[in-house]
């Protein structure tokens, strides 16, 4: 059956697959690509303050003609700076709402635990206040590790609905404990960059079983990887500028891998988990990303 929804710990239902805008940049081309995603059938848009394309995502949504409750919109506080001033969570959320052109966000995330080290509880209280005020419907985090979540949960009145993390077979060995902890506390995983084994790390130990399983099920290799992410009961966050690829991604809603398929992928992935490349380091928040802008600079980790 097609992709459906996952029920969050706050009772709301999040679409199982999202069109992500991390790698899109900005400008008219982004608007066209996001519109294409909506036209193909994506009903979940994922953006962030540091991507610098919230406005384009908003224009695409407006030009689509879809009703607000037809599309789930996620954004993130990324610790942006404007001049010499770092924009706080509440101020940033209101700016994101204005840029996207909506009255509320379905989901708002703290983009990285590194942004709030030493003040996780204070930052989370601010997120809870945004939810109480109705500016955001659900709140969560991104790139949080177990210790970060433990600190947050110690004083949280509202548990994070999701934790958006890097998720593919090459990092699974190092992510299993985190996923188990999240399951224990009813925090839904959102998996981004699930196609890295194909796009950034081809030629590794995963290739052989991946292509074998794809051939066996008459699937494209990327469909197998996304089906694996889905097997972890995770929301898939992915993107492409190609319509046919987006259609293949959505077709994964009808794909179910066998337990042996999943085990084979994870066994091969474990052989390559110690060889993370630069792309993974960026995605995990190890590399500092500095983006210049007319109004100042975004300085943050993601």
Query: Which region among 2-11, 18-27, 89-98, 216-225 has the lowest average model confidence (pLDDT)?
Result: 18-27
- In 186-244, where do the E strands start and end? 188-192, 235-238
**Is the per-residue pLDDT at 104 higher than 50?**
yes
Burial class (CB in 10 A: 0-12, 13-18, 19+), 65: exposed
pTM to 2 decimal places: 0.90
Query: Which region among 85-94, 152-161, 270-279 has the lowest average model confidence (pLDDT)?
Result: 270-279
Mean pLDDT of the chain: 90
- Catalytic residue numbers? 51, 111
Residue 212 carries which DSSP code? H
Q: Which domains does the chain have, with CATH numbers?
A: 14-301 (3.20.20.100)
């Amino acid at each position: 059956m097609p992709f459906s929804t996952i029920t969050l710990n706050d009772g709301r239902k999040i679409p199982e697959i999202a069109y992500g805008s991390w790698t899109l940049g900005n400008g008219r081309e982004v608007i066209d690509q996001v519109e294409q995603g909506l036209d193909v059938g994506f009903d979940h848009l994922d953006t962030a303050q540091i991507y610098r394309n919230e406005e384009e995502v908003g224009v695409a949504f407006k030009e689509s003609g879809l009703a607000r409750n037809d599309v789930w919109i996620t954004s993130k506080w990324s610790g942006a700076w404007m001049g010499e001033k770092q924009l706080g969570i509440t101020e940033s959320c209101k700016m994101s709402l204005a840029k996207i052109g909506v009255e509320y966000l379905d989901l708002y995330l703290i983009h990285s635990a590194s942004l709030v080290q030493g003040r996780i509880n204070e930052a989370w209280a601010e997120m809870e206040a945004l939810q109480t005020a109705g500016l955001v419907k659900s709140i969560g985090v991104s790139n949080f590790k177990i210790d970060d979540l433990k600190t947050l949960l110690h004083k949280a009145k509202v548990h994070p609905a999701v934790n958006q993390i890097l998720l593919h077979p090459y990092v699974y060995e190092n992510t299993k404990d985190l996923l188990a902890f999240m399951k224990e506390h009813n925090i839904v995983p959102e998996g981004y960059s699930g196609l890295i084994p194909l796009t950034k790390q081809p030629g590794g130990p995963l290739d052989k079983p991946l292509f074998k399983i794809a051939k066996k099920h008459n699937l494209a290799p990327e469909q197998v990887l996304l089906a694996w992410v889905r097997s972890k009961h995770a929301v898939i966050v992915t993107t492409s500028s190609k319509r046919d690829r987006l259609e293949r991604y959505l077709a994964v809603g009808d794909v179910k891998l066998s337990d042996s398929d999943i085990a084979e992928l994870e066994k091969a992935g474990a052989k390559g988990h110690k060889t993370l490349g630069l792309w993974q380091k960026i995605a995990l928040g190890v590399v500092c990303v500095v983006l210049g802008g007319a109004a100042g600079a975004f300085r943050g980790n993601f």
